[in-house]
């Protein structure tokens, strides 16, 4: 997703649901940082919070992805004969 697509999502979908005091948590993708998006966020009264870089412990979906990857790796064929 690029900054333009994210801004469109934010303005059309997310912003109308936000109210004063809400917190929007984001990772550090470049798409999440356009200036127009920050300005649109200020209008809603919500606060923007960026996760620190390289912090999977603060992003629960990363823990789920890690478990899924481990299960897939464990279930994969590991010998030439199995392939």
Q: How confident is the model at residue 22 (pLDDT cuts 50, 70, 90)?
A: very high
The domain total for the chain is 1
In our burial notation (b when 16+ CB lie closer than 10 A, e otherwise), range 3-28 reads beebbeebeeebbeebeeeeebeeee
Is residue 81 situated within a structural domain?
no
Rounded Cα gap, residues 69 and 37, in angstroms: 33
Q: What is the pLDDT of residue 79?
A: 66
Domain containing 39 equals 3-75
Domain membership of residue 24 (yes or no) is yes
The pLDDT, as a whole number, for residue 33 is 65
- Tell the burial category of 73 from Cβ atoms under 10 Å away from its Cβ (0-12, 13-18, 19+): exposed
32 found inside a domain: yes
pLDDT over 80 (residue 7): yes
């Amino acid at each position: 997703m690029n900054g333009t697509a994210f801004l469109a999502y934010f303005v059309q979908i997310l912003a109308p649901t936000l109210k004063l005091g809400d917190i929007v948590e984001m990772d550090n993708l470049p798409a999440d940082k356009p200036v127009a998006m920050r300005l649109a966020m200020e209008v809603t009264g919500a606060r923007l919070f960026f996760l620190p870089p390289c912090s999977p412990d603060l992003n629960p979906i990363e823990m789920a992805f890690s478990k899924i990857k481990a299960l897939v790796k464990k279930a994969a064929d590991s010998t030439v004969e199995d392939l």
